[in-house]
Every structure is written in structure tokens, then in C-alpha cells.
Amino acid sequence: MKEAFCKKMRSAYFKLYIKIAEKKYKRLRYLLQTKKESDTLIVCFSGFGTGGSARYNYVRSLESVIANKLFILDNFGYNKQGSYYLGENGDWFLPEMVVSLIQKIKEEKNIKRLVLIGSSKGGTAALFYGIKTGADACIIGAPQYFIGDYFSIDKHVPILKGIMGDASSDSIQKLNMLLSDCISSSDLNKPKVYIHYSPKEHTYIEHIADMIGDLRRCGYTVYEDSDYSYVDHSQVAKHFPRLLLSALTKVMEEPLK
């Protein structure tokens, strides 16, 4: 009885904090948890949900962290499974919305430290938006770097078309260059990058090795958490929270710039 009551209250609590940011006919859904005593904002981006459903990630993992927390949902694209927080059918409306939302909360809550986090698709988005907002740190797990190549296999083509409107070679190349262009062209503060991966999991060879090389060539400080031997990408969600919590502790103890 007590457990059922707690679950009911937890559900009501999260519903209370679900907000909607509007842009024309689009809506950006997010979950905001605030702490008046904190001047840190943690922004969490979601990976692809199991069963195809978009959902918030790492809400429970961050329960004990005393900070303002913003969880942004990516329920756009094919079957609303996600669009790497870009948009739909070639209309990339999400970057403007996401950046505006983060900046708005920073101003309203007098945020001094910004940390972006996520794994897999969420890790890719966290790095992309961390660079675009000049965040203090990005804490990411096994992200994809060459998004176009990742979607060019048959089972992912519908998601590619949902984001780009087609599956042309130009669209694949545009997605492949998204992060590398962002890394090399930003003139904002370069966030410190904490990255979790297993060298035996395919994402490392296909994406992460090149990502780390490009980050370091462009002057980013990169910390690697790679002492793992799992081969299945689904294991990222199991192991990433260890880095997430330890890196957050380190980042939040550092003096503000």
C-alpha cells in the first residue's frame, strides 16, 4: 500500500514539472527540477528508447545530485522515436528551441555552471549543444559521431528519412559532418568532455576514436573512461552512471570561472 502511494506521488510530482515550450506548431517537452540553493544546471538528453518510445533518461540516477536539472525529451521524427534533437523532414527547428530553452532557464535561475549529459544519441546531442551553448562540461557515454553512416543501414533508414526528408548521399554527409563542423568552428567556451566507452563495443571504432581525435586537435580537454570490455551497446546505460556521478562531483567542486 505504501509503495503504491509513493509511486502515485512520484508520478504526480513529475507531471507537475512537465512543461512545454512552443514554436509555431511544434512543442518541446521537458522536465525541470529546481534547487534554489544551487547555481548549477544539468541538462540531460535522451537516447533512443527501448520499444521505440521516447522517454527521459537518468532521472533516478541523478536523484541525489543537488543541482537544477533539465531533462529534454526528443519525441520527434519517425514514429516519434527521436531526431538527435534536430527536427523533422529536413526542417531543423529544434536547435533554436533547445538553445533558447537552456538560455532562458540559465537567466531565470541565475545559473553559473552548465553541464550537459547523455549517452548514445543523448551523448551526441549533449556534446553538440554543449558546444553551442559554451557549457562548462559535457559528460557523455558512447555517442555516435558519424550520424549519417549510423542511419544508412536498412533498419535505420526510416529514422534518417524522418530527420532529413530523404536518404540521399547529401543528407548522409550533412549528418556525418554535423558534430565535426560544430567542434571545429565554435568560438565559444570549450567545454571539458568526459566520455565513457568500451573499446570492444563497435561504437568506439566506428565513431568515438575519431571524435576524440578531432576534439583534442581543436583544443578540447578530454577525459576518457574506457576500462570496460562489454561488446553490446545496450550495456552503456548500465555502466555510464558511474562516470556520470563521479564526473559531476568533480565538475561541481571546481571553482567557477
Confidence band, pLDDT 50/70/90 cuts, at residue 10: very low
Backbone angles phi, psi at 187, to 5 degrees: -110, 15
pLDDT above 70: residue 211: yes
* Mean pLDDT across 24-34: 87
Q: Which residue has the cell 568532455?
A: 193
User: Closest by alpha carbon to 123, among 92, 99, 145, 150?
Assistant: 145
Per-residue pLDDT at 155: 83
pLDDT above 80: residue 18: no
Rounded alpha-carbon distances, angstroms, from residue 53 to 102, 152, 247: 24, 21, 28
The model carries a pTM of 0.92
- The domain limits of the chain are 18-249
Q: Convert the pLDDT of each residue in 227-255 to its tens digit.
A: 999 999 999 999 999 999 999 999 999 98
> Rounded distance, CA 198 to CA 208, Å?
10
Per-residue pLDDT at 95: 96
pLDDT above 90: residue 15: no
* Mean pLDDT across 187-205: 95
Q: Convert the pLDDT of each residue in 127-178 to its tens digit.
A: 999 999 999 999 999 999 999 999 888 788 999 999 999 999 999 999 999 9
How many CB atoms are located within 10 Å of the residue 112 CB?
13
Per-residue pLDDT at 146: 97
Q: Which fold has domain 18-249?
A: Rossmann fold (3.40.50)
Per-residue pLDDT at 2: 40
Sign of the alpha-carbon dihedral angle for 216, 125, 94, 189: negative
> Rounded distance, CA 59 to CA 69, Å?
9
* Mean pLDDT across 41-45: 98
Per-residue pLDDT at 24: 60
DSSP assignment string, 126-138: HHHHHHHTT-SEE
Confidence band, pLDDT 50/70/90 cuts, at residue 189: confident
User: Closest by alpha carbon to 183, among 208, 218, 137?
Assistant: 218
